[in-house]
Amino acid sequence: MSRPPYDQLYIYELTGDARHLASGLGPGYLGLWQEDETSFLFFSAPADKQVESLLKNGELALRQLHRLSYDEWQGGLELEPMLVGDLYFCPAWAPAPPPPGARRLLVDPGLVFGSGLHPTTRHCLELLRLRRSQGPLGRVLDLGCGTGILALAAVAWGAQEVLAVDLNPLCVTTTKNNADINGLDMEVAEGPAGGFLDRPAGMVLANLPWAVQRELWSPPRDLDGFPELIVSGVMRSQVGPLSDLLFSRGYKILKRREAEFTWFSLWAKRG
């Protein structure tokens, strides 16, 4: 199959949290995207009756119905094969053979917005590869896992244990699916990033917006259990404050990546 296994998407935008109600919605139900108090239910065909049944208890209200092609939802960005070190990432629906000496990892972004190959994602992969070249990764914590690409790479590069976390249930489902299709063992959990910083890890991966980064690394949070960080998702006006914050918490910036004069990624080590 040379194209994604999705065509038309019917997206029901609801006011309210539908996570505890979104079950038994039929074979056309694809998943749920949650943003604050707005739920987006994805279907492969019109699902007016299923959605009407959800609205009967009064907890939810239909705000709008969107109909988009899969390409439109992904912004016209096609997932293309990508080689990072000895890992070859390619679309799950077009499993091309890897280059000699490389290991293939299949990626299906599903309905998670974006192909997962944003410059910040690639930077995180490159920095993680550099770290791996220095020795075993140990335990890895991936905060805001999205499609799960960073967590997949950590497992493939021999991490002792990987925990991938995302607040969005659709990202959790997508990461689990990508782990399954590659036969990789990792833990995947739903919840806010800060809720998992009681799990010490030798390496924390956090490709997250600046507002979330600032909350994660600021006092009084204890960071003793996290000797190394790879952080990304920040823009030019934010990389300075992030660097200063990490320095104030005892981290030294080992490597820095920049793309398009806009996106920045940092590898930091404590002590």
Q: Would the pLDDT of 155 be above 50?
A: yes
Quick one: 263 exposed, middle or buried, by C-beta within 10 A (0-12, 13-18, 19+)? Answer: buried
Q: Which pLDDT belongs to residue 110?
A: 86
Pairing of strands 203-207, 228-235: parallel
- Domains 8-73 and 107-270 in one fold: no
The tens digit of pLDDT for each residue in 63-82 reads 999 999 888 887 656 678 99
Q: Which CATH architecture has domain 107-270?
A: 3-Layer(aba) Sandwich (3.40)
- State the average pLDDT for the chain: 92
Q: Which pLDDT belongs to residue 80?
A: 84
Q: Which pLDDT belongs to residue 1?
A: 41
The string of DSSP codes covering 42-73 is EESS--HHHHHHHHTTSS-EEEEEEEEEHHHH
The tens digit of pLDDT for each residue in 208-219 reads 999 999 999 999
The tens digit of pLDDT for each residue in 23-55 reads 889 999 999 988 889 999 999 999 999 999 999
The tens digit of pLDDT for each residue in 209-249 reads 999 999 999 999 999 999 999 999 999 999 999 999 999 99
Domain edges within the chain? 8-73, 107-270
Provide mean pLDDT across the span 158-187: 96
The tens digit of pLDDT for each residue in 182-196 reads 999 999 999 999 999
Percent above pLDDT 70 for the chain? 95
Query: Which CATH number is 8-73 given?
Result: 3.30.70
Q: Which pLDDT belongs to residue 10?
A: 96
Pick the more confident residue, 115 or 23.
Answer: 23
Q: Which pLDDT belongs to residue 176?
A: 97
Quick one: 36 exposed, middle or buried, by C-beta within 10 A (0-12, 13-18, 19+)? Answer: exposed
Confirm if 202 and 227 have CB atoms less than 8 A apart.
yes
Provide mean pLDDT across the span 124-139: 97
What sign for the dihedral angle of Cα 212, 144, 266, 209? Answer: negative
pTM of the shown model: 0.90
